Amino acid sequence: MWSADDVARAAVRRQGQGLSVAQVADKVAEAQRRERETRQQLHSPAVGCDPYDGDPEDLAEQWVARHAEWRRVAALTDAQGWPVYSPEGDVQGSTWARGRDAQREGALPRRAAWQMERQDERDEWKAQVWLSAEVSRRLRVIAARTGLEPEQVLAQLADQVRMDDDGALAVDAFIPP
């Protein structure tokens, strides 16, 4: 849902709060080092990679974004003359954070609806039924008289069936809608 830039901005806002100018400079240097290391890993053969390791391209992209964001925060604290970084005073960072929050708030109902739809799909059951020629003919006649497809007639029957205490199945007379 979030891009590498979004993740970097959120992480830097969270980690940067209250850091001095010197500490922010240290974060810039660390991000630069990590960006360089992850780029080098991209160009070196994958020796001894664990199947649970993350995607090296994704990791490199994240460190590029963090390095850029730490540089932006360093430039902002320098330009504003702040002794420490304050996310509340970071107008651009606050605008981005509000946008992410709005995106998340919009995504939550869509995700819930998607999960409900998936649950409904899991609860549905599709079956392939082989019927004798006689039963198949009767089913087709019933379907033609009711204006339904044979599968719809079977679904209506299944919807109306009940089981007695002794395990016998019974269907009361009904008229398909």
Q: How many domains does the chain have?
A: 2
The C-alpha atoms of residue 176 and residue 36 are separated, in whole angstroms, by 70
pLDDT in tens, 120-145: 778 777 778 899 999 999 999 999 99
Q: Are residues 96 and 31 in the same domain?
A: yes
Type of residue numbered 145 = R
Q: Are residues 44 and 103 in the same domain?
A: yes
* Residue 43 belongs to a domain: yes
* Residue 143 belongs to a domain: yes
The C-alpha atoms of residue 69 and residue 85 are separated, in whole angstroms, by 13
Q: Are residues 156 and 93 in the same domain?
A: no
Q: Are residues 87 and 106 in the same domain?
A: yes
Positions in the chain whose pLDDT score sits under 70? 1, 45-54
Q: Are residues 87 and 146 in the same domain?
A: no
Q: What is the pTM of this model?
A: 0.59
Q: Are residues 86 and 149 in the same domain?
A: no
Q: Residue 23 corresponds to which tokens in the numbers above?
A: 């500490």
Q: Residue 166 corresponds to which tokens in the numbers above?
A: 């002794």
Q: Which domain holds residue 16?
A: 4-123
* Residue 177 belongs to a domain: no
